[in-house]
C-alpha cells in the first residue's frame, strides 16, 4: 500500500464532504466515529458493548463457539464469563487502534495483516469472519 492514497491521507487533501479514497470515510464520518468512541469510554461502555456484541454473535451463529472453547460458556454464563469479557476488551481495544490510525493506511494494513494471521492460525476462515 502507499503512493497517492497514502499521501492523500497524510496531507488531508480529501475534501470534508468527500470520502477518503482508501477508507471511504469523510472527515465528518471520522469525527463522528471518534466522538462516539470517546462517549463510550467516558461512560465506561467499552466492556458491556464488546461483551454484548460477542453474546449476540454467539446467539446468531452458535457454530462460532467452537473457536472459543476456552470460554467454558456452559459452566459460566456469558455476562459474567471472565474469559469472554477479557476477549471482548481485547477486541474493543483493537477496534480503538483501527480508529486511532484511520488516517494512516499503511499502519491500518499492518494491523489488519496481524489480525488476519491470528485468525488463520486458529483456522478461522474468511466466511466465519464475514458473518
Domain ranges of the chain: 27-129
So what's the architecture of 27-129 in CATH?
A: Orthogonal Bundle (1.10)
- Within 8 A by CB and 6+ apart from 58, the residues are 64, 65, 68, 73, 78
- The model scores a pTM over 0.75: no
Residue owning grid cell 502507499: 2
Q: Which tens digit of pLDDT belongs to each residue from 57-70?
A: 988 988 888 888 77
Q: Which tens digit of pLDDT belongs to each residue from 21-75?
A: 888 889 999 999 999 999 999 999 999 999 999 989 988 988 888 888 777 666 6
- Within 8 A by CB and 6+ apart from 80, the residues are none
Distance CA 83, CA 89 (A): 10
Q: What does each C-alpha distance from 126 to 62, 65, 122 come to in angstroms? A: 17, 16, 12
Amino acid at each position: 500500500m502507499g503512493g497517492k492514497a497514502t499521501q492523500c491521507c497524510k496531507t488531508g487533501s480529501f475534501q470534508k464532504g468527500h470520502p477518503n479514497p482508501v477508507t471511504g470515510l469523510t472527515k465528518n464520518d471520522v469525527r463522528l466515529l471518534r466522538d462516539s468512541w470517546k462517549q463510550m469510554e467516558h461512560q465506561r461502555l467499552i466492556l458491556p458493548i464488546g461483551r454484548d456484541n460477542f453474546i449476540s454473535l454467539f446467539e446468531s451463529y452458535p457454530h462460532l463457539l467452537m473457536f472459543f472453547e476456552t470460554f467454558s460458556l456452559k459452566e459460566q454464563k456469558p455476562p459474567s464469563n471472565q474469559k469472554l469479557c477479557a476477549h471482548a476488551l481485547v477486541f474493543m481495544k483493537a477496534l480503538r487502534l483501527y480508529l486511532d490510525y484511520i488516517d494512516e493506511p499503511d499502519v491500518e494494513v499492518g494491523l489488519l495483516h496481524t489480525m488476519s494471521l491470528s485468525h488463520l492460525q486458529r483456522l478461522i476462515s474468511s466466511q466465519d469472519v464475514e458473518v
